[in-house]
Each structure stands twice: as structure tokens, then as C-alpha cells.
Amino acid sequence: MEQTLVIIKPDGLSKKITGKIINILEKENFKMAACRMFFLDKKKTELFYEEHRGKEFYPPLVSFMSSNPSLVMIWQGDEIISRLRIIVGNTNPETAEEGTIRKMYAGDNRHNVIHCSDSPKSAQREIDFFFPEEEIYNWERKEYKK
Ligand code: CMP
């Protein structure tokens, strides 16, 4: 079972679409394995987005991400990394496919409401970046009434 890191960014929280995004992931039958609110201060954001250091969008990205808290989660499911990239859509909402999360909710290519890992290697790095093993839950669904 594959795992990926998902961040609902500060604009996602401000827009009150946290529940909507989680609902989309649950409807896909993906399972949440960890969830915590983080304030990604400047230093933590710089480290998380280290691969983009030096690009012109890096400084404003850091200041946006450290403007308010984010909701950081691990989700799991079959081929979740590639499937979620499709559901989330292109970085830029103007070129994102209709029906994707970013097309529906993102303001522009910086304020794009959600982050998800782009490969198994980055998923592992990003999961380790935020969560110690004891905060990651391997749980089974049970049947309940209604
Ligand atoms: P994310 O998927 O979290 O990965 C890197 C982030 O950098 C991206 O979402 C955007 O928030 C931001 N980003 C990427 N490209 C650009 C760009 N061309 N201009 C502004 N922000 C960008």
C-alpha cells in the first residue's frame, strides 16, 4: 500500500475547504494514516521546499507558507501518488483540468491550496520530514450501522 504526504496550505484553511478536500480523498477510498496541524515557519518551509531554492518563486512561496498554519496529513491507497496528482491537478489552476482540486479552488500557481508528493522518493522524504513512526496509524476499516 502506497503512502503520500498531503498539505492543505494556509489558503485552503482560510477558504474553509478542508472538509471538502478530505471528502474528495475519502470518496476515492483513500485512507488517512496521520494528521496534524503545523505552523511551517520560515526555516521549516525553506527546508521542506529545499529543491526549489534559487528559483524566483521560492522567497514568496516561503512567505506564503509561513503566513498561517497548514494541515499536514499522510494518506494511503493503491497507487495513491500518481492518482492523487491527477485529482489535485496542475500547479497552475489556469491550466489545471476541469474538476481537479486546484481548478475548483486554487487562486494562482502559488496559492494553490494543496500539496501532494510527486514521487515515491519524495513521499518518503516528506513523510519523514513531518511524522515520527509512532504518529502514523495502520488501521483497518470496520462495518458500522448507517
Ligand atoms: P507545490 O505542489 O506545493 O510545490 C511547489 C510549490 O511552489 C507549488 O506547489 C506552488 O505553491 C509553488 N510554485 C511552483 N511553481 C510556481 C510558480 N511558477 N510561481 C509561483 N509559485 C510556484
Q: Which three cell numbers stand for residue 10?
A: 494556509
Residue minimizing CA distance to atom 12 of ligand 1: 110
115 lines ligand 1 (CB under 6 A): yes
Helices 80-88 and 18-27: angle between axes, nearest 10 degrees: 130
Task: Give the mean model confidence (pLDDT) for residues 79-101.
Answer: 98
Please check whether residue 145 lies inside any domain of the structure. Answer: no
- Residue 106, φ and ψ in degrees, nearest 5: -80, 145
Please check whether residue 77 lies inside any domain of the structure. Answer: yes
CA dihedral 36, 39, 41, 46 (to 10 degrees): 40
Task: Give the mean model confidence (pLDDT) for residues 58-84.
Answer: 98
Q: How far is CA 127 from the centre of its chain?
A: 11
For residues 105 and 15, is the Cβ–Cβ distance under 8 A?
A: yes
Containing domain of residue 29, as a range?
Answer: 2-132
Please check whether residue 146 lies inside any domain of the structure. Answer: no
User: Does residue 1 register a pLDDT over 90?
Assistant: no
Domain total in the chain: 1
User: Does residue 13 register a pLDDT over 90?
Assistant: yes
**Catalytic positions, written as ranges:** 115
